[in-house]
Amino acid sequence: MTNNNIQTLLREIPGVDSLLEKIKNSPDFKNIPLSVVKSSIREVLERIRTSILNGVIGEKEVYCDAINDKVILHEKIIQDVLIYAKETIAPRLVPTINATGVVLHTNLGRSLLCQDALERINQIAAGFSNLEFDIKKGKRGERYSAIEQILCELTGAESAMAVNNNAGAVFLCLNTLARDCEVVVSRGELVEIGGSFRIPDVMEKSGCKLKEVGTTNRTHLRDYESAIIDKTALLLKVHTSNYTIEGFTASVPLTELALLGKKHNLPVMEDLGSGSLIDLSKYGLAREPTVSDVVLSGADVVTFSGDKLLGGPQAGLIVGRADVIKRIKSNPLTRALRIDKLTLAALEATLNLYRDEMQAIKKIPTLRMLTMPFDETVERANKLINDINLKIESMGIEDRVVVGYADLSSRTGGGSYPEYSIPSRCVTIDPKSISASLLEKKMRLYKPSIIGRIDNNRFIVDPRTLQKGEDQIICNALADILNRE
């Protein structure tokens, strides 16, 4: 394109004010703030300008026809401004459909809250509450009073508190109990949880010195004992919840470490990570120590997450001996890590369900998904296959896909069980007109976003992690995507 042509095209671009005048009374823009409309106009005009300068417009692009007709051109620009403005004000944090079968999916928000928790959040968020007010005494109360008693009841601990998340809980405990001192920990337990949570890094930031003992695969009681010096302040065990070491291994049971702690007058802490309150082995999952097990084994302080196996809101729970918890509560850092009232409301409601185990299993989404029997996944997979087939037949596009099933496995995820998998019947979707990976992408970009996985060149939907009504959305999305191919 010649320079002259470019100049002519550039002159066709309308000004911000003339577009604004046209848009002002358009019902399409009624709920879009003026500032957003203005910035969207500028953005769209800038893009057109760039396209012209790059020689795209005037040759092959959509604006090609429009550029010769002012009315069409303005309409086209206004359409694009509307799209851009709507995208600008649309929420970035949006619901997604988890078809991966990973129950505690860290990237997809870990635990879903139970209905009771949602209702309590609504109540507490909308009004004033006794968050830090003792109603009986008529004076300042403690933030933890909503959950302390029930946590003690459910775990057998003497005292309890909660902070923002478990990484915070570990940090706070170490800082309180061992700042400027040494913490003895086994080399086999120096874990990285994901994101950037590494036990050694957190320890360093909390002001204590790590004393590593033993080897990656074997650590003995004598290793701990010979590491104890005057500057030792804490013996730490970290539950290796996201991996297992197999083969020639040895680790020291907490009961023995607790006795060693007593002998040397040192507190013993366990970072349990996932922290289940009930024994899930009854429901076919692997046996993992529960929080009560750890308390009973003699740990002076135990930390665990609120939104892993517990199935509540993001929180870091700390339970243990009364005098130890008291020290932690009075650390000024609790202020920086404190749990907020919405979380507290949700946590109290979730914990309350644990007073009746069957109720907890039924009502807490994480537990319901984890304990869903294989037969139920078969039922749900069959229903989804049937729904998809009916839908694509009704649209006459049944030749574009082969829908079947495969017996695969779901995973607990979220650093909760060591690579533990649960048998699950999954729906396999094998598109004929596009590749499985393109289908995966299209499902992911769909609104709402549907996150699945690829296995053996098929798109996999695991019914275990699907919530009510999501089958239908998947069915419609798939039909919609295939229909456009």
Ligand X SMILES: *Cc1c(COP(=O)(O)O)cnc(C)c1O
User: Interface residues with ligand X (CB under 6 A)?
Assistant: 165-167, 170, 193, 197, 238-239, 241, 271, 273-274, 305, 316, 415
Q: In the complex, what is the shortest distance from the CB of residue 456 to ligand X, in angstroms, rounded to a whole number?
A: 31
Q: In the complex, what is the shortest distance from the CB of residue 433 to ligand X, in angstroms, rounded to a whole number?
A: 42
* Residue 42 CB-density burial (10 A; 0-12 exposed, 13-18 middle, 19+ buried): middle
C-alpha–C-alpha distance, residues 113 and 93, integer Å: 17
Q: In the complex, what is the shortest distance from the CB of residue 239 to ligand X, in angstroms, rounded to a whole number?
A: 5
Give the CA distances from residue 237 to residues 190, 278, 315, 365, in Å, rounded to whole numbers and listed in that order. 9, 21, 20, 29
Q: In the complex, what is the shortest distance from the CB of residue 365 to ligand X, in angstroms, rounded to a whole number?
A: 17
* Residue 47 CB-density burial (10 A; 0-12 exposed, 13-18 middle, 19+ buried): middle
Nearer to ligand X, 193 or 474 (CB): 193
Peptide bond into 267 cis (omega under 30): no
Strands 182-186 and 192-194: unpaired
Q: For 386, what's the count of Cα atoms within 13 Å in the CB-facing half-sphere?
A: 6
Reported for 203-207, long-range contacts at CB under 8 A and 24+ positions apart, including other chains, are 203/174, 205/171, 206/170, 206/171, 206/172, 206/174, 206/175, 206/178, 206/179, 207/174, 207/175, 207/178, 207/179, 207/180
Nearer to ligand X, 238 or 381 (CB): 238
Structure tokens at 197: 């949570």
Instruction: Tell me the residue type at 307.
Output: D
Nearer to ligand X, 294 or 482 (CB): 294
Instruction: Tell me the residue type at 23.
Output: I
Nearest Cα to Cα of residue 303 among 474, 161, 201: 161
**Count of residues for the chain?**
485
Nearer to ligand X, 170 or 319 (CB): 170
Nearer to ligand X, 303 or 410 (CB): 303
Nearer to ligand X, 266 or 272 (CB): 272
Question: 457 and 479 in contact (C-beta within 8 Å)?
Answer: no
Nearer to ligand X, 110 or 211 (CB): 110
Nearer to ligand X, 188 or 273 (CB): 273
Q: In the complex, what is the shortest distance from the CB of residue 381 to ligand X, in angstroms, rounded to a whole number?
A: 30
Q: In the complex, what is the shortest distance from the CB of residue 299 to ligand X, in angstroms, rounded to a whole number?
A: 14
Q: In the complex, what is the shortest distance from the CB of residue 306 to ligand X, in angstroms, rounded to a whole number?
A: 7
* Residue 359 CB-density burial (10 A; 0-12 exposed, 13-18 middle, 19+ buried): middle
Instruction: Tell me the residue type at 117.
Output: A
Structure tokens at 190: 């120096």
Residue closest to ligand X when measured from CB atoms: 273
Q: In the complex, what is the shortest distance from the CB of residue 308 to ligand X, in angstroms, rounded to a whole number?
A: 6
Instruction: Tell me the residue type at 127.
Output: G
Sequence-ordered list of residues with C-beta below 8 angstroms from that of 30, at least 6 positions apart, any chain: none
Nearer to ligand X, 303 or 428 (CB): 303
Q: In the complex, what is the shortest distance from the CB of residue 275 to ligand X, in angstroms, rounded to a whole number?
A: 8
Helix (H) or strand (E) holding 407: strand 401-411
Nearer to ligand X, 166 or 175 (CB): 166
Q: In the complex, what is the shortest distance from the CB of residue 337 to ligand X, in angstroms, rounded to a whole number?
A: 11
